[in-house]
Chains A and B, each alone.
Chain A
Amino acid sequence: MTGGVGARLAEWPRPTRRGGALIAVGAIVFVNALVLDRRDFILFGLIGVAVPLVALAYTAWRVPRLDVGRSFVPGIVSAGGTVTASAVVRNRGRRTLDGARWRDTAPRLESPMESVLPPLGRWEGGPPGGSDTVRLEYTLRLPRRGVFTAGPLRVSLTDPFGLARIERGYGRTHDLVATPRTTALGASAGGPASLDGVLLELQRQSHPNADELIAREYRHGDPMRRVNWPATARAGEIMVRQEEQRSDPDARLIVDTALHGRGRTSFASGDDRYHHPFELGIELAASIGVHLLRGGFRLTVSETGPSQLEPGPRRRAGGLFGDTPVEYQGGVGERAFLEGLAHLDTPGGRGGSATDRSGAPHDDVRRASGRERRPAFAVLVDIAPEEAVALAAMRPAFEPAVAFVQEGVRRTLVTDLEEAGWRCIPVRTANDIPEAWHSLAHDQGAADAR
């Protein structure tokens, strides 16, 4: 469809519906007149044929020459948000341009209907802003997560009689990124233990005792707050903590990006680019990730499929089988994390890249297991048994280990995971997300109370 021939044909002038009808009727009249020897109708038929053809030649001759500058603000929006697209169109031709219309090409998006381009004066040179320039602006709504394209701006010129038109693209294609929607998890503190409490608890568990930190001698310039009083008492001289207390504890997020389980089970509404459970998983992962990042965690993210967040030729094993997780931190990290999620392809949607399972499983988990245990959240959409096994094997490295499980995951695998010590919380729709998170907090609070 977008082949070279088709694209080149689209550049040719073509008759409008009116012009085509006129040519057809003219030809019929001409042939009949020829047979019946009606000289007057021969002329009529020829007018019907000739004028549209001349109009075609006219449009080919008067192809608009335009400069188009594009901008999209903002370049990245959350899914469902809007982008203001603007274009500055400037006539480069030596004649005024009238009779033109414009539309934007934005596949999978609702771009405005073709509309009239105001008449443009002839090229004036000099700074823009003269009568040869017009500024077009419209709003594009990005309905869901993903990377969309917009442009080139297509401008069509119709001859004065509306018989022929030529359409050309101006400017280049621009990418528009719609990051996944996120649900704020901390804001709605309903239960006795807020989510912040959970995080503090997690943090506390990760860093059990400040006293255990290694102390060193005081040096000039150390702030007083770093004085390690117990150590000072023991050593008899002023000791300070050698390391600043870690303010960014680690958290692991495991995202099911491969859906290796039963395959593409429930693709919705024939659109193979949109897979509801997968999108729900992405939204859930984004919500948790953003929440953790804002809570000060350093986030490491593993994908079950080949790494798309940080693609590389050797990163095709999947996060559970050897690929190193991708790390995010702070505000910059949040932005990069969301953008990375926006770029995730729906698995199986197009071709699908097979996961290379040759790598040793959970290498990094084993590496990490020696150190302190950290929280892990797995967002599971539809996993394969070996992935469940890998997750079970990784369980000792994590505390707490929470799996948000969608309906696509087989019951037996859920049971396996639960037996391995994963807390499995079912999630069905996006509305379940805050509740699922709350239940986590409740249980945590309950556990604390016990």
Chain B
Amino acid sequence: MRAETPPLTLPQSAALVSTAFLLVAVALTSLGPLLAGSAWWWLCAVVAAVVFASGLGLRLLRVPASLVPVLELVVLVLVLTLFFGAGTAIAGVLPTGATFAHFGELAAAGQTSIVQQSTPAIAVPGILFVLALATGLVAVVVDIVVVSLRVVALAAVPALLPVAVPGFIVEGGTDFWTVLLTGAAYLLLLRVDVAVRRRGELDREPEGETAPRITQPRRASAGSTVGATLGLAGVGLLTAAVLAQATPSISNPYLFGTGDRGPLFSRGVNPFIDLGEDLRRPEPLPAFHYSGTGRERPYFTLLTLDRFEGDVWSASEEPLVEEQTVDVFPAPPGLDLGVARSLVRTTVVVDEVATTWLPVPYPARSIQGLRGSWFWEADSFAVASADDDTLGQRYVVTHLDLDPTPEQLRTASRALPDELEPYLELPGGVPEIITTTTEEVTASAGSPYDAAVLIQRHLRGSDFSYSTEAPVEEGYEGGGFDVIAEFLEVGEGYCVHFASAMAVMAREAGIPARISLGYTAGSRGVGTLAGEARYDVDTHDLHAWPELYFEGIGWMPFEPTPGRGSVPEYSRVSVLADPGATRAPLPTPGAPATEGAPVLPEEPVDGSTAAPVTDSGAPLARLALVALAVALALALPAVIRRLVRAWRRRRAWDGADAAAAAWAEVEATAVDIGDPPTPFESARGFADRLLARDGVADDADARAALERLLAGVERHRYGPRPAPAPDHPLTHDLDLVVHALERGLQPAERFRALVVPTSLASPRESLAQRRPSTAGA
């Protein structure tokens, strides 16, 4: 029934393709909530633009339609090589075998990263690669659907893929406005398609004898449907939006069984329970081995639990921050100049642990040699990866070994900064036994530090014993209030119970406390590593310990668990002549810093400002982005000027003030080319000047056209009202004059007129509208 689609002309293809690109670009923004920053969007937009542009170019070269998608894929590979080739490509764009191997790694890293990161994820190279690849494929499919097959409505399917993604990852799915905007872009694509089809059919020469001949009206109507288009789209989208808001949620997990979301981006594990299971494992597995230059062997923190909600300790779910790369850590919170410290280098080789958390001593200064993208978290300095895990990693941690004196600790200020408030929070319903025990134990304490030491001594006292089995048998696994109360009564438990008990009691006593999960220092191994004695850590060395905050010193670990790890030196000494210190099973206090490690230079603020932004793609990509942005910015005035011209042309076509509009455009063009009409010049005087200009003077057609336009505007200005409508469209004359004016320019002048259309700054519209009565003198 429908006539076969006529072939597209270049402007028609360009209109279709650019609208399709707009749709893809808008649809891509829906990934915004999932990814940090916006560089990824630019990269994807560039990739899509290149694919679409290549399609356009290939069709312009009359490449067979069946070959176009194939060549587009080739172009996609070249672009990906340019951005992600990492030096494996010939001349930057020609991929080699190594390039594809690299692509494979990137894709795998991207997948891992997608699974591991929480939102908003950092766009690490792997993710960028996957995104760019997917965008390129979507662009190819959209291009085929829109331009080759001309089933434009189907473009929704590939283009909406990005929009579908957020719903699987974050609650609520894609942002409401993004969906509306995507819908609007889709409607625009449909509109352009309809317009292109009509244009194509109108322009087609009639073929055959029976083909209809259409005699156009003498003065064709411009037939604008802009109002109808906007109105229809607006009403449609508004209706949909209102209905969507009004649609009740009928979802019921019992009814449909869709309550769960996938574990993508989720770290939904109960660290305590896992830790207990690891500790009860009969045969320990080697976790990692290390060697260090420190005088004391450090604990390795994996993860810090800072939130206590009554029945479970948990880590604040904070997304990774792109700037917080592990090559530089900020100064540890709360650490003052007066505290003795030494800089220690610890070399770690991970054996069989595969987690996204890196075992790192606290407080670290920098980590070198890691594979993948790793980021530190604020406050806890826990280090997590966006796209890799710990398996087989070998890295060097530079960290501080703090050695505060008991005096320093004891005299620490009780006035705490506001941001430590969360570390003092205890939910309501603290069991009686916890408060009473705390009061009893800390009754004699003169300072928070004394209270902490007393709590530690109490828990290490004879009332408590270490057992990994008892909590399971008695049924108080975990770290909640009930469990702690039970533990305080029974007196048997393992590190989790000791640590959470001490942390809760410390908070009860007004000391900011949190729990660190990680490994103890392990045991002496065979041989050396990096020239130092080697120590082995296995799964039995998994540990949990409390860290307490003292103003001026920062977070300091304590060791309330009897029989595990080592009691820090500063907590052994006590006003009460603590006898518990002698029970410390592991190395006696050594001399101060065994080596002359330089004391950390003082930094007033953290060092993260100096950290470079993670490299998102090759420098070429960034260059291309900058160039694109600059080009867009430069083109903007020209685009606006063209729109204004198109608007005036439309009015000159069949508007009531056609002559005035046409003349206004002539004047504006004159302004653009630097020959503006003077305020007191008549239209005729101005026209005489134009007639003498290069480009017009030697073009009889343009001169005649200018005369006609002049006659029209004079009739409009000085003639009777209402002025008779011109009997032919003025646009042809207008085009002739404008082109003649522009033709007379030197190339440089023409460029300036194009890029810096000064008429935009001084609208001549009012001038053109003037009538003798209003024109004044």
Chain A residues at the B interface, C-beta cutoff of 8 Å: 18, 21-22, 25, 34-44, 46-47, 49-51, 53-55, 58, 62, 82, 96-99, 110, 112-116, 118-122, 129-141, 158-163
Contacts and interface: CB of A to CB of B under 8 A. Distances in A.
Contact of A131 (B176, B194, B218, B258): B218
B172 A46 contact: no
Contacts of A163: 190
Contact of A43 (B164, B244, B250): B244
21 contacts: A18-B153, A25-B156, A36-B251, A38-B173, A40-B167, A40-B179, A41-B173, A44-B179, A46-B247, A54-B236, A55-B232, A58-B232, A62-B228, A82-B209, A110-B210, A114-B1, A116-B198, A119-B223, A132-B221, A160-B225, A161-B232
B278 interface: no
A54 B239 contact: yes
Given A99-B225, A112-B210, A113-B2, 4 more contacts: A37-B250, A116-B198, A118-B214, A162-B190
A139 B209 contact: yes
B212 A137 contact: yes
Contacts of B239: 46, 50, 53-54
A99 B193 CA distance: 12
A44 B225 contact: no
Given A43-B179, A134-B215, A160-B232, A119 B222 contact: yes
A98 B224 contact: yes
B524 interface: no
Contacts of A44: 160, 163, 179, 183
B194 A132 contact: no
B217 A118 contact: yes
B24 to A, nearest CB: 16
B472 interface: no
A162 to B, nearest CB: 4
Interface in B443-489: none
Contact of B240 (A25, A51, A55, A162): A51
Contacts of A141: 210
B187 A116 contact: no
Interface string B222-260: 111100110011011101110110010111000010100
Contacts of B202: 116, 118
Nearest to B182: A44
A34 B251 CA distance: 7
Given A98-B223, A131-B218, A37 B251 contact: yes
Contacts of B172: 39-40
Contact of B256 (A35, A115, A160): A35
Contacts of A140: 210
A192 B388 CA distance: 109
Contact of B237 (A21, A37, A51): A51
B219 A21 contact: no
A140 B249 CA distance: 60
Interface in B134-163: 153, 156, 160, 163
A-B pairs, top 7 by smallest CB distance, nearest first, are: A119-B223, A37-B251, A121-B221, A51-B236, A40-B173, A98-B223, A138-B212
A139 B232 contact: no
B180 interface: yes
B3 interface: yes
Contact of B221 (A40, A82, A131): A131
Interface of B: 1-3, 153, 156, 160, 163-164, 166-167, 172-176, 179-180, 183, 187, 190-191, 193-194, 197-198, 201-202, 209-225, 228-229, 232-233, 235-237, 239-241, 243-244, 247, 249-251, 256, 258, 654
Nearest to A19: B153
Contacts of A50: 236-237, 239-240, 243
A320 B233 CA distance: 72
B217 A37 contact: no
Contacts of B187: 51, 161
A301 to B, nearest CB: 35
Among B156, B176, B240, B251, residue most surrounded by chain A Cβ atoms (within 10 Å): B240
B451 to A, nearest CB: 50
Contacts of A47: 179-180, 183, 236-237, 240
A134 B217 contact: yes
Contact of A114 (B2, B211, B216): B2
A159 B408 CA distance: 80
A43 B240 contact: yes
A130 B194 CA distance: 26
A18 B151 CA distance: 9
B179 A160 contact: no
A137 B2 CA distance: 19
B228 A160 contact: yes
B284 to A, nearest CB: 45
A340 B258 CA distance: 78
A25 B173 CA distance: 19
A136 B224 CA distance: 22
A43 B176 contact: yes
Contacts of B211: 112, 138
Contacts of A139: 209-210
B702 to A, nearest CB: 26
Contacts of B244: 39, 42-43, 46
A323 B577 CA distance: 146
A293 B247 CA distance: 82
B766 to A, nearest CB: 28
A38 B256 CA distance: 13
A36 B213 contact: no
Contacts of A131: 217-221, 654
Given A114-B1, A158-B194, A163-B190, A40 B176 contact: yes
Contacts of B217: 118, 120-121, 129-134
A159 B225 CA distance: 9
Contacts of B201: 115-116
A40 B166 contact: yes
Given A43-B180, A99-B225, A129-B218, A21 B232 contact: no
A42 B247 contact: yes
A236 B520 CA distance: 165
Contacts of A97: 223
Contacts of B241: 43, 46
A222 B173 CA distance: 111
Nearest to B3: A113
Given A46-B240, A139-B210, A54 B258 contact: no
Contact of B167 (A38, A55, A119, A120): A38
Contacts of A160: 191, 194, 225, 228-229, 232
A53 B243 CA distance: 13
Contacts of B190: 18, 161-163
Contacts of B233: 51, 161
Nearest to A97: B223
Contacts of B198: 99, 116
Contacts of B167: 38, 40-41
Nearest to B258: A36
A286 to B, nearest CB: 26
A162 B193 contact: yes
A54 B232 contact: yes
A142 B217 CA distance: 29
Nearest to B236: A51
A421 to B, nearest CB: 50
Nearest to B248: A34
B337 to A, nearest CB: 53
Among B156, B160, B217, B222, residue most surrounded by chain A Cβ atoms (within 10 Å): B217
Contacts of B160: 44
A37 B209 CA distance: 59
Contacts of B220: 118-119, 131
A120 B209 contact: no
Contacts of B210: 110, 112, 138-141
A112 B214 contact: no
Given A46-B244, A131-B219, A162-B194, A40 B224 contact: no
B669 to A, nearest CB: 26
Among A22, A37, A160, residue most surrounded by chain B Cβ atoms (within 10 Å): A160
